[in-house]
Amino acid sequence: MTDPKVKKYSEELKKLGIEHEILKHPQLVSVEAVQKYLGYGLEDAGATLVIKVDDKFIAIIRRGDTKLDNERVKKYLGVANLRMANEEEFTKLTGVPSGAASVYIPSLPTYIDKKIFEKEYINAGSGSLLYTFRYKTSDLKKIPGIKVVDFTSIESEKKSSLIDIKGKRILSGITPSGDGTLHIGNYLGAVKQFIEFAKNGDCYLMVADLHALTTIQNKAQLQKNTETLILNELALLGNLTNIVFFRQSDVPMHAELTWILNNVTPLGLLRRAHAYKDKLSKDVMEDEINLGLFNYPILMASDILLYKPDFVPVGRDQKQHIEICRDIAGRLNKTYKSDVLKLPKPYIPEDVAVVMGTDGKRKMSKSLGNIISIFDDEIVIKKQVMSTYTDPTRIHSNDLGHIEGNMVFAYLDFFGEKNKVSELKDLYKEGKVADVEVKNYLFESLMKTFKDARVRYQELKNNPQKVTKILSNGADRAREVAGKTMMEVRDAIGLTNNYSFFKY
């Protein structure tokens, strides 16, 4: 750590007995952006709000997934008026820019919402936009003069999981920008949900190889990544018949619609896209960012709009993609006084998992080496399981153990048998079961869960003709739907409708 102000603040916290871990990241302002980068959800974040109540200022620490109840604040504090501090007031009172407030601000009376303590650990401010501190929540009660209050409620978005998707069209895609192999984080975060959708809906799933060109400019690597991803996806999907599975580059309409949408999309809309802003935040010069990465939201909009889906499954951090898509579609419809493009809705299931890696610190990612594979050799998977973060305070197997933050139990909640997992949790907390025994059960559970998929993987790998046929059939079906949409778009904007040259 090089920031002297952050170092000084860290030392002050240690004097108060507030233990913390220091996490470094690119310059990020919003709590959501920080949590996304670190691999946590908003429920694992603490946000410090500076509020003006009548004629004075106070600080309130709330959980990132909660909303302040203004009436409860007024009633508790006995005030008539309250408002958020503006940026100038915020900086003057805290000494740091908006988005960087620490949990300990000596100059302000501080209140902490009780929902913070439902989590054993929380990520919160450090006084810098480049660092986040991970606190043990019970230690936050040591902040001088802090008062625990009940000021918030869980922020309620419309629960997309309540939407009836029976008979609806769903579209999703995955980019082969990595090496193409899937791990349990990919499965829990996306593939599992898509399998459930496919049982009731009309599903389109594509391997988005055109998107991979923004980061991969190596022929052999792109081909290998794509082939590996296709095998992984097909093995996990099994024999579901109502999924149109295809390769994006096999459907030329994606590129054509992208060019048409380019002409109704303003630059300002693209400049707000997360991927572009993330690149700039990592000190990448704008002149070094390729146009494909800047332009990728338009290609993504084409991917979606060609198939006129009712819903597009995304995580909360990807909701912006759908918002941009709707904006672009709306602009084309308005420009040409047409309703040719159907505006999709995001589908954000409440139970989609943000899966932490085996290190217990960041979102599961192959580049971080904190994954558990699905299709690797059993020896490799066993090694990954055995290296999984558990309870660092537990030195001996008969020490009392903690479940919160223990990644082995986090994974068992998804893959283990409910009664067995509940029994192991009780034994673990009582110091009656060793880490190695729990890890062995996790390994056995994973092998059982993915047994059929692992068999299918080997069958497909040994039978490339079968894979080719699946892709060919998927491409035919995708081109039929995409071609119909393009004929409607061409008619709406004044281009010819001769599509015979798209026969493959």
In this structure, is residue 460 part of a structural domain? no
Instruction: Copy the structure tokens of residue 213.
Output: 């060109």
The region that residue 338 occupies, defined by phi over 0 for left and psi between -120 and 50 for alpha, beta otherwise, is beta
Residues 276/270, Cβ–Cβ less than 8 Å:
yes
Residue 158 — very low, low, confident or very high, per pLDDT cuts 50/70/90? Answer: very low
CATH number, domain at 104? 3.90.960.10
In this structure, is residue 461 part of a structural domain? no
**How high is the pLDDT of residue 498?**
66
Residues 303/208, Cβ–Cβ less than 8 Å:
yes
Same domain? For 145 and 175 the reply is no
Same domain? For 58 and 182 the reply is no
The domain boundary residue, chosen from 100, 134, 154: 154
Average pLDDT over residues 165-190: 87
Reduced to 3 states (helix: H, G, I; strand: E, B; else coil), residue 397 is coil
Same domain? For 263 and 118 the reply is no
Average pLDDT over residues 181-208: 88
Which H/E stretch holds residue 185?
helix 184-186
**How high is the pLDDT of residue 353?**
54
Number of folded domains in the chain? 3
Give me the helix-helix angle, 407-415 and 435-449, nearest 10°.
Answer: 30
Diameter of the chain measured on Cα atoms: 76
Average pLDDT over residues 34-41: 76
Q: What are phi and psi of 195, to 5 degrees?
A: -60, -40
Same domain? For 55 and 184 the reply is no
Which H/E stretch holds residue 184?
helix 184-186
Same domain? For 215 and 275 the reply is yes
Chain segment 217-252, per-residue pLDDT in tens: 999 999 999 999 999 999 999 877 789 999 999 999
Residue 501 above 60 pLDDT?
no
Residue labelled with tokens 């040409």 = 336
Residue labelled with tokens 């079968």 = 466
Strands 20-24 and 131-136, sheet pairing: antiparallel
Same domain? For 61 and 168 the reply is no
**How high is the pLDDT of residue 275?**
65
pTM (2 d.p.): 0.67
Residue 291 above 70 pLDDT?
yes
Reduced to 3 states (helix: H, G, I; strand: E, B; else coil), residue 480 is helix
CATH number, domain at 380? 1.10.240.10
Q: In what order do the strands lie in the sheet with 131-136?
A: 20-24, 131-136, 121-124
Percent of the chain topping pLDDT 70: 91
Residue 336 — very low, low, confident or very high, per pLDDT cuts 50/70/90? Answer: very high
Residues 454/236, Cβ–Cβ less than 8 Å:
no
Active site residues: 279, 363, 366
SS (H, E, C) 95-140: CCCCCCCCCCCCCCCEEEEHHHHHCCEEEECCCCCCEEEEEEHHHH
Residues 101/125, Cβ–Cβ less than 8 Å:
yes
**How high is the pLDDT of residue 223?**
95
In this structure, is residue 45 part of a structural domain? yes
Cα–Cα distance for residue pair 212/221, rounded to 1 Å: 11
Residue 358 per-residue DSSP state? T
Residue 160 — very low, low, confident or very high, per pLDDT cuts 50/70/90? Answer: very low
Q: Measured on CA atoms in the order 459, 464, 470, 471, is the torsion positive or negative?
A: positive
Residue labelled with tokens 């504090």 = 77
Residue 305 — very low, low, confident or very high, per pLDDT cuts 50/70/90? Answer: very high
Cα–Cα distance for residue pair 67/488, rounded to 1 Å: 44
Instruction: Copy the structure tokens of residue 437.
Output: 């025994």
Mean pLDDT over each residue of the chain, to the nearest integer: 87
Same domain? For 169 and 143 the reply is no
Chain segment 363-384, per-residue pLDDT in tens: 888 888 999 999 999 999 999 9
Q: 227 is in which domain, residue-wise?
A: 160-353+478-502
Cα–Cα distance for residue pair 373/302, rounded to 1 Å: 32
CB burial of residue 292 (10 Å; 0-12, 13-18, 19+): middle
In this structure, is residue 167 part of a structural domain? yes
Average pLDDT over residues 144-166: 69
CATH number, domain at 313? 3.40.50.620
